[in-house]
Amino acid sequence: MLAQVIFYALAALTVCSAVLVAFSRNIVYSTFALLGAFMGIVGIYILLAADFVAMVQLLVYVGGILVLTIFAVMLTAGIGDVKVSNRAVGTGPAIVVAGVAAIVMLYAVMRTQWHQAAAFTPAPTTYAIGNAFLGDYVLPFEVASLVLLAALIGAIVISRHEVRE
């Protein structure tokens, strides 16, 4: 019962924050509302006993991307004074598309035969993920690291080439 209340509170936080991100007229407020959406998703991952995914979400999205976005928005001169001239264009079609999508999703939720999963005891998943990365999946893990290294070197070469011009 308590888990359901916490789940619905986190879901409400996530959805309300996402609505604020989409409909806020101030980009700074949108960025801070994105923090609420990301944190709600972290809470849902914790409820699902997906501790590794929750911490990756926290570190990568909240700790990296969101902080970078906040700094980029805050350091951009005059970003709060920017006025978009055609805010009303496309509002009608957007409401129609969102309404149709909501009806389709509601129909799918109401017509689906939901099965109750068996109760389980949450267990840490990081140990198994670490063993998998250093065992069965060591080759794909290392290939991914080489691809990321090649992308990093390519980005450096491209940026150095533009500086020379």
Q: Which residues contact 79 (CB under 8 A, 6 or more apart)?
A: 27, 28, 73
* Spatial contact of 45 and 37, defined as CB atoms under 8 Å apart: no
pLDDT for position 78: 65
Within the chain, residue ranges assigned H as helices are 2-23, 27-47, 51-56, 67-75, 91-111, 126-133, 138-164
Q: What is the mean pLDDT of residues 20-44?
A: 88
* Spatial contact of 42 and 57, defined as CB atoms under 8 Å apart: yes
Q: What is the mean pLDDT of residues 93-121?
A: 90
Does residue 100 have a pLDDT over 80?
yes
Does residue 98 have a pLDDT over 60?
yes
Does residue 123 have a pLDDT over 70?
yes
* pLDDT band at 143; cut points 50, 70, 90: very high
Q: pLDDT of 68-90, one tens digit each?
A: 887 877 777 666 565 555 566 67
